[in-house]
Structure 1
Amino acid sequence: MTDASSEIDARAAEWALVANGGEPDSGQAQYLEAWLASDPRHRGAFLRAQAGLRLVDRLRPDLVLTRAPTRPRACTPLSRRTMMIGGGGAIAAGLVAVAASVLLRGERFRTGLGEIRRVPLQDGSSATINTDSIVDVKLGRSRRDIDVVQGEAWFNVHPDRLRPFLVRVGDIRVRAVGTAFSVRPLAAGVDVTVTEGIVDAWDVRRPNAKMRIPAGATAMLDGQAEPRAATPLPPPELARRLAWREGLIILNGQTLAQAAEEFNRYNTRRLETGDLATEQTKLVGVFSATDPESFARAVSPMLRATIILRSREIEFSRS
């Protein structure tokens, strides 16, 4: 399979995931139609990716769990899905996500390694919390305060102009009224990605340097300089960045080292790049975040590498 075909299949898989999550909005639909029309191969790849999702749903009904009746302060599984989509050995498997219906007034939520937790908030908002994260929630009469103490989270904010929704990540503040966005602390700063609406973001050390981030854009805030302008993201890239909400890692041009870093966020069995640490081959595919062995088996032929399987690690090697 050529690099071009692999890239088409990966993009088709991303679009299939977007479509599988519900009817695309008008902007996404226009972007999808333009992509389908730009190359005769695109429509066939998209249909194959959709068929792959439907096929696995039929073959593995045991991985679809029915939501149990909600109880205060209880957690119930939402769903787990295993799927094979796209070409070039691209493998995707679903997750166990946890939903909790609780009163969130001064509550702390933790996720373990590889756990993704979906939490409905009392005000009608919701939080999806990524692996190994800590989020504190306090809903008051005049404001809604969220502290991302560790890790990453995505928020779908219920509109309430009388109670601003304020997310704190260290010195970074993100304020929304009714919108959806994610925050993730990185070495370079705090990444804010907006999927719906508009947010205002700033560093408390530079309160006069606020920036506005619109839907479909991302920005990095580090507090050390004037905020850089928000960067628009094509819908497939937006879906790739937020694929963790479905327990997936989507690669579209990342190196082995970058992929290993992402997989190691979710697993105690770590990927070790070994003597392929500087390998620059661009990887493409959709994978389960909690199945590093399937990823390693899928990409090792492309890298002309062998993998050494151990109980606590998977090492890539040229030998």
Structure 2
Amino acid sequence: MTRQEAQRQEEEEAALWVARHLDKAVDVTAFHQWLAGRDGRRELFDALWATCMDVAVTDALRAKDQAAAPPKAAPPRPVYRRVAFAAAAGLAALAAIWAWPELRFAVTPEQTFATSAGEVRSIALSDGTALFLNGNTRVRVKIGSGRREVQLAAGEALFDVRHDPQRPFTVVTDDARVTVLGTRFDLALNDARVDLEVERGLVRFASTSERQSAVLVPARHGAALINGRIGSPVALKDSAATEWRTGWLQAADMTLGDIVPRLQRWTDKDIIAEDPRLLRTRAAGRFRLSEPRILLESLGDLYGFSVEETGSAFILRKR
């Protein structure tokens, strides 16, 4: 039996146990033996049960039961026949619900990974994909039998995606959606923009606002989503965007406003410019991310601003 077949069997067994609970026809001992038989069964059962308790799903089941119910004037059926009918209807309804791909994916167990300021972490996913998280980053991961999805809730991550034509790999943020089959790319949330850089393969980059068609970004190219629109891909000269893995920032004609969110992943202190115009200052150089005060002071010496460090922030003031 393949891994996908085994997972499908686990899901079908969990669905049957949910149906038995819905019909109040549960062998408690057998149920607990099933739960204990393999890791993850409790989580799978709980997720499917929660889905079936959703108001929309409950309404659908109720409508199905009402449509299948005998006329009120009909004589009552024997109890055992009503129980059998209810069980059959419950199983049929649950089977129909379980067949919906979106609901099947909704009950796939989710994993959350996070890093603290300045922490770089590597993660091996169950499908063979490797994730590398920058500091102050949080992702939620679901690896299902038909698709793979990561939610980038904060920060930046490098994805080395294992090729699987049967299971597209998607990374979603509040503003963007990236879809691949197998590739290596970096995705970063930098304040109001989403930056994508592709090292290998081809990436489909789309805005959730649907103001424009998706943009295909090839290997060694980058693109940015700003104010709901994705710019044209531009060729990359090197892989400077992922130097954060070794604790460095390579800035090439980058505004201070673009540098700040990248540095913010390496400190718990807020970086505040008293005059927003200061963030338009363009800078270049190679800086050590793990030393945020030294980095900011070096930039200040070069571009004319001072740095005041408080207990909770770095305050930048124009000289």
* Secondary structure of residue in 2 paired with 1:159: coil
Structure 1 residues 310 and 200, CA gap change in structure 2 (3 angstroms): closer
The answer to whether residue 115 in structure 2 is matched with residue 120 in structure 1 is: no
Deviations 1:236-261 (A, max 9, x none): xxx23222222222223335554444
Equivalent AA in structure 1 for residue 288 of structure 2: S
Q: Which residue of 1 aligns with 2:93?
A: none
Asked whether the equivalents of residues 152 and 172 of structure 2 are also in contact (C-alpha less than 8 Å), the reply is yes
CA distance in 2, matches of 1:207, 1:305: 39
Asked whether the equivalents of residues 152 and 182 of structure 1 are also in contact (C-alpha less than 8 Å), the reply is yes
CA distance in 2, matches of 1:171, 1:305: 33
The answer to whether residue 297 in structure 2 is matched with residue 294 in structure 1 is: no
Structure 1 residues 215 and 299, CA gap change in structure 2 (3 angstroms): same
The answer to whether residue 233 in structure 2 is matched with residue 230 in structure 1 is: yes
Asked whether the equivalents of residues 142 and 148 of structure 2 are also in contact (C-alpha less than 8 Å), the reply is yes
RMSD: 3.3
Give the helix-richer structure, 1 or 2.
Answer: 2
Taking structure 1 as the reference length, what is the TM-score of the superposition?
0.56
CA distance in 2, matches of 1:191, 1:129: 15
CA distance in 2, matches of 1:258, 1:204: 22
Asked whether the equivalents of residues 305 and 317 of structure 2 are also in contact (C-alpha less than 8 Å), the reply is yes
Deviations 1:66-109 (A, max 9, x none): xxxxxxxxxxxxxxxxxxxxxxxxxxxxxxxxxxxxxx952111
Q: Extract unaligned runs of 5+ from structure 1.
A: 1-103
Task: Report runs of 4+ in structure 1 exceeding 6 Å deviation.
Answer: none
The answer to whether residue 177 in structure 2 is matched with residue 173 in structure 1 is: yes
Aligned pairs for 1:26-65 within 5 A: none
Question: Which protein has greater RCO, CA pairs closer than 8 Å, 6+ apart?
Answer: 1
Structure 1 residues 181 and 241, CA gap change in structure 2 (3 angstroms): same
Structure 1 residues 222 and 249, CA gap change in structure 2 (3 angstroms): closer
Deviations 1:116-135 (A, max 9, x none): 22111122111112222221
Quote how far apart the aligned CAs of 1:152 are: 2.1
Q: Extract unaligned runs of 5+ from structure 2.
A: 1-107
The answer to whether residue 157 in structure 2 is matched with residue 153 in structure 1 is: yes
> Percent of counterpart pairs with the same letter?
25
Deviations 1:126-164 (A, max 9, x none): 111222222111112222121212232220011111221
Q: How many residues align?
A: 212
* Secondary structure of residue in 2 paired with 1:263: helix
Deviates more, 1:205-214 or 1:150-159: 205-214
Asked whether the equivalents of residues 142 and 162 of structure 1 are also in contact (C-alpha less than 8 Å), the reply is yes
The answer to whether residue 244 in structure 2 is matched with residue 211 in structure 1 is: no
Structure 1 residues 276 and 120, CA gap change in structure 2 (3 angstroms): same
The answer to whether residue 235 in structure 2 is matched with residue 250 in structure 1 is: no
Structure 1 residues 119 and 223, CA gap change in structure 2 (3 angstroms): same
Aligned pairs for 1:177-188 within 5 A: 177-186=181-190, 188=192
Larger radius of gyration between Structure 1 and Structure 2: 2
Aligned pairs for 1:45-124 within 5 A: 106-124=110-128
Q: Which residue of 2 aligns with 1:278?
A: 278
Deviations 1:184-208 (A, max 9, x none): 2345553222111111222455398
* Secondary structure of residue in 2 paired with 1:206: coil
* Secondary structure of residue in 2 paired with 1:136: strand
Structure 1 residues 271 and 191, CA gap change in structure 2 (3 angstroms): closer
Taking structure 2 as the reference length, what is the TM-score of the superposition?
0.56
Q: Which residue of 1 aligns with 2:240?
A: 240
The answer to whether residue 143 in structure 2 is matched with residue 143 in structure 1 is: no
Equivalent AA in structure 2 for residue 134 of structure 1: R
CA distance in 2, matches of 1:208, 1:296: 37
* Secondary structure of residue in 1 paired with 2:252: strand
Asked whether the equivalents of residues 117 and 129 of structure 1 are also in contact (C-alpha less than 8 Å), the reply is yes
